[in-house]
Amino acid sequence: MHALRRAARRFMATGFYSHTDCLKHEMGQWHPECPGRLQAIEDQLIASRIDALIERDTAPPADEAALLRVHTQAHIDYIRSRAPSEGYAEIDPDTSMNPHSWQAALRAAGAAIAATDAVIEGRYDNAFCSVRPPGHHAEPARAMGFCFFNNVAIAARHALEVHGLARVAVVDFDVHHGNGTEAAFSGDSRVLMCSFFQHPFYPFSGADNQAPNMVNVPMPARSKGMDVREVVDLLWLPRLHAFKPEMIFVSAGFDAHREDDLGNMGLVEDDYAWLTGQIREVADRYAQGRIVSCLEGGYNLSALGRSVVAHVRALAGI
């Protein structure tokens, strides 16, 4: 009987959320956060022959009420007002909007919310949101670092306040510290955030004065996969097991890959598969397997596509 159950659970129903609007946002030919990132993921999904094994779904736009669970009204109004009718509007030196950015940002947040609904309702075991713009640098009242709205934070708050979950965890393995997510949840006992990030490095935060619900681990440049695995084993997993999350949200940045020039760490695809496996084990034990993962960084297109495939394979158990 146990063997049959294990066989039945071998392949998990993994949702895959995206939208063509996310391809229309771009910040100039020079910018590394480009539409080609999503196209590279699609190409690798097809090449790896797992495209047919995931369930595709369309990202709806987030409504204002959902954004307001994390962001201020002034911030939402400012981003809306900055959307240009043509050309680009600068938000910060690294972040700008084109005429499609507002809608893309709503789709990115909406994907995370829709995936959360689907996983909690049992339509999928877990889900990955292949969306852009990314979100984890967006603070409640400030857009920065390629991010306008904090997709993962919005989804986590949706799980807490709309679905009534008591405890959720956020796991962030981007090479950059998720300052926006920390700002949204610092001191909130319903949320445990676990991350590692290269330090000192943009956005030059996360290493000092952490709230009790933050397990954010600064790591030196050139840290490799075994260094990260040790951090996860010694620092993340004890806190996650003690917290017993009812759902896990992942800020899935792949710019800690050794081929990615925007960071200087040494992870490879096997490390992302291992990380995802550890997250799945915690989710299976305490959260009915419920995971929603959202794309953050990852700018070497080949490494990004291969790493997302490794992540999605591990989510789906294939």
For residue 134, the enclosing domain spans: 14-316
Q: Supply the pLDDT for residue 3.
A: 39
Query: How would residue 7 be classed by pLDDT, with cut points 50, 70 and 90?
Result: very low
CA pair distance 192, 244, nearest whole angstrom: 10
> Tell me, what CATH number does 68's domain have?
3.40.800.20
Q: Would you call the peptide bond into 200 cis, given omega within 30 degrees of 0 as the criterion?
A: yes
Determine the average pLDDT of the residues in 111-127: 98
Amino acid making up residue 162: V
Determine the average pLDDT of the residues in 163-181: 98
Residue in the structure block whose two tokens are 């959720």: 168
As a whole-number percent, the residues of the chain with pLDDT over 70 amount to: 97
Q: Supply the pLDDT for residue 11.
A: 58
Residue 159 is encoded by which pair of tokens? Answer: 């799980």
Short-list 246, 239, 229, 232, CA closest to 285: 246
Residue 29 lies in a domain: yes
Residue 53 lies in a domain: yes
Determine the average pLDDT of the residues in 132-151: 98
Residue 93 lies in a domain: yes
Query: How would residue 5 be classed by pLDDT, with cut points 50, 70 and 90?
Result: very low
The residues, any chain, with a CB within 8 Å of residue 33's CB and separated by 6 or more, are 27, 132, 133, 134, 146, 299
Determine the average pLDDT of the residues in 273-297: 98
Q: Supply the pLDDT for residue 51.
A: 87
CA pair distance 211, 237, nearest whole angstrom: 18
Task: Assess whether 137 carries a catalytic annotation.
Answer: yes
Q: Is the pLDDT of residue 10 over 60?
A: no
Residue 132 lies in a domain: yes
DSSP 38-98: HHHHHHHHHHTT-GGGSEEEEPPPPPHHHHHTTS-HHHHHHHHHH--SSS-EEEETTEEE-
Catalytic choice (25, 71, 136, 137)? 137
Residue 106 lies in a domain: yes
Q: Is the pLDDT of residue 2 over 90?
A: no
Query: How would residue 8 be classed by pLDDT, with cut points 50, 70 and 90?
Result: very low
CA pair distance 170, 205, nearest whole angstrom: 17
CA pair distance 79, 257, nearest whole angstrom: 31
Residue 124 is encoded by which pair of tokens? Answer: 């999928």
Q: How many domains does the chain have?
A: 1
The residues, any chain, with a CB within 8 Å of residue 76's CB and separated by 6 or more, are 64, 67, 68
Q: Supply the pTM of this predicted model.
A: 0.96
Query: How would residue 52 be classed by pLDDT, with cut points 50, 70 and 90?
Result: confident
Determine the average pLDDT of the residues in 122-128: 97
Residue 6 lies in a domain: no
Q: Supply the pLDDT for residue 129.
A: 98
Calculate the average pLDDT of the chain.
96
Residue 39 lies in a domain: yes
Residue 3 lies in a domain: no
